[in-house]
Amino acid sequence: MESLLIWSFQKPPSSLHFPATAELYSLPTGSRVEAQYCKCKALGNPENNHVIPMRLQWHRQLATQQFVRNNVKRIVALSPRCRSKYLVNATSEHSLESEPSKSRGRSIQHALNAFYRFSRPHTVIGTALSIISVSLLAVKNLSDFSPSFITGVLEAVAAALLMNIYIVGLNQLSDIEIDKVNKPYLPLASGEYSVITGVMIVSSFAMLSFLLGWIVGSWPLFWALFISFVLGTAYSINLPFLRWKRFAFVAAMCILAVRAVIVQIAFYLHIQMHVYGRPAVFSKSVIFATAFMSFFSVVIALFKDIPDIAGDKIYGIRSFTVRLGQQRVFWICISLLQMAYLVALSVGVISTCIWSKWITSQMLQIEHIATCSLYIIDHQESDEMMSRVLNSKLAKKPDLKNRVWRL
C-alpha cells in the first residue's frame, strides 16, 4: 500500500525521536495518523538515512476499515519550511482502529441517497398515485374494497414502478453528457454510478417488472408493461430511427401515450377484468380521466424540458422550450392546466353526486386562489425576473416541475 505523508519539521537530524502528525493520503479524506518513530531516507540524497522507529495510530472519520502492514514504503513530503523529501519505512504495532458500524451506516445511507436520485422520485410518486386513482374508478360499492383489490393494486404499482425505474434509468444512461449540464446531481452524471452499474440496474429492473407481470397473470398489466417498455426505450436509446426525444412532437406523444392512455386504460382493465372478473366496460369516469390526463400529459411533456434548456441546446435536442423559449412554454403550460381544471370543475358541478359537488366547490376555491396568484405574478414580474425564477427555481431546485408531476 503506497501512502503519502505530509510531515512538518524544521531540520531532520540523523536520528529523530519525537511525536509528529501526518496525513495519510491513501486513506479516505479526513483520516489522520500519528507518527511517533520512523525510519526514513532522503530522496534527493539516498546516502543520508535517518532511523526513526514509527508507530501509527489512525483516528478514523470515514468509511472502510484498513490496516497498516509491516515494512510498508511511504513517501514523506516536508512542509514548505523544509526542502527535503524522505522515503519512510513504517512499521505498525497493531491494526488501525475503525468504526465499522458507523462506516457501514454511512455507506448504506449514501447508497440509498444515490438510488433515490437515480429513480427520479417525482416520477415514482406520480406513477403510483395515477395507478391507485384509476384503480379506484373500478370500485362500484364498498364490498369491492376487498383483499384481492388491495393485492391487485399493489401488484400493479410494484410492476409499474419497476418499469418506471427502467425507463428513467435508460434515459439517464443515454443522456450522461447532457445531464452533466442540466442535472449534475444525478448519480451517472456526477460519477457516483458507473455506466456498467447503470446498465445492471436498468436491466435488472426491466426483467423484474416483466417477471412480476408474468407471475400475476394479468394480460392488461402485461401489455401495459410491454408498451411502456417499447415507448420508453424508443424515447431514450440512441439508435437509428429512435431516440424520439430529439423531436418535440414525437416526445410529447410518447409521454401522452404512456401517462394518459396506458396508465388510465390498461391499469383500469387490470382491476376490472383480472381482479373483479368483469367485462371490459369503460365508464364515463374512465373516459373523462383519460381525456383529462391527455391534457395533463402534454403539460408534463412541456414542463419537464423548461429547466433543461442549456444542455438541450448544446446537444441538439429540439424541444419546445429550445424553440419557443422558457417563458412562453411556462405560460402555455399554466394555461393548459387552467383549462384542464376548469373543465374538470365544470363536470363536477353538473354531477348528480352530492359528494362530487362538495369536492368541486372546494376545488373551485383552490383554483380561484391559484389563478389569482398566477395573474398577479404575470403582471408584476418583469421578463428579467421571470427568467431568473425559471432558471434558478426550476433548474437548480426543480420543485415546481416535481409538483406538476405529483398533481
Residues 25-67 have pLDDT tens digits of 444 444 444 444 444 444 445 445 444 444 333 333 333 333 3
pTM flag (> 0.95): no
Band (pLDDT 50/70/90 cuts) for residue 311 is confident
Within a 13 Å sphere around the CA of 188, how many CA atoms are in the beta-carbon half? Answer: 24
Higher pLDDT, 182 or 191: 191
Task: For cell 489522520, name the residue.
Answer: 32
Q: CA 59 to CA 66: how far, in whole Å?
A: 12
Residue 51 near residue 41, CB atoms below 8 Å:
no
Residue from 9, 4, 17, 8 nearest 54 by CA: 17
- In the predicted model, what is the mean pLDDT of residues 269-274? 95
pLDDT above 90: percentage of residues in the chain: 28
282-288-289-295 Cα dihedral, nearest 10 degrees: 140
Domain assignments of the chain as residue spans, ordered by start: 3-98, 107-304
More confident residue, 367 or 157: 157
At 142, the pLDDT band (50, 70, 90 cuts) reads confident
Under the banding of pLDDT at 50, 70 and 90, the label for residue 116 is very high
pLDDT digits (tens, 9 = 90+) for 20-36: 444 444 444 444 444 44
User: Which of 19-28, 68-77, 192-201 is most confident?
Assistant: 192-201
- Give the mean pLDDT of 101-126: 88
Closest CA to 73 of 155, 1, 165: 1
Residue 147 has pLDDT above 90, yes or no: yes
CATH class for the region spanning 107-304: mainly alpha
d(CA 263, CA 240): 28
Q: Which amino acid is at 141?
A: N
**Residue 271 pLDDT grade (very low, low, confident, very high; cuts 50, 70, 90):** very high
Cα 169 from Cα 203, distance rounded (Å): 9
Rg (CA), the chain: 30
Nearest-angstrom CA–CA distance, 128 and 134: 10
Q: Which tens digit of pLDDT belongs to each residue from 206-236?
A: 999 999 999 999 999 999 999 999 999 999 9
The confidence score (pLDDT) of residue 249 equals 85
Band (240; pLDDT cuts 50, 70, 90): confident
- For 315, phi and psi rounded to 5 degrees? -105, 15
- Stretch among 188-192, 302-306, 357-361 having the lowest mean pLDDT: 357-361
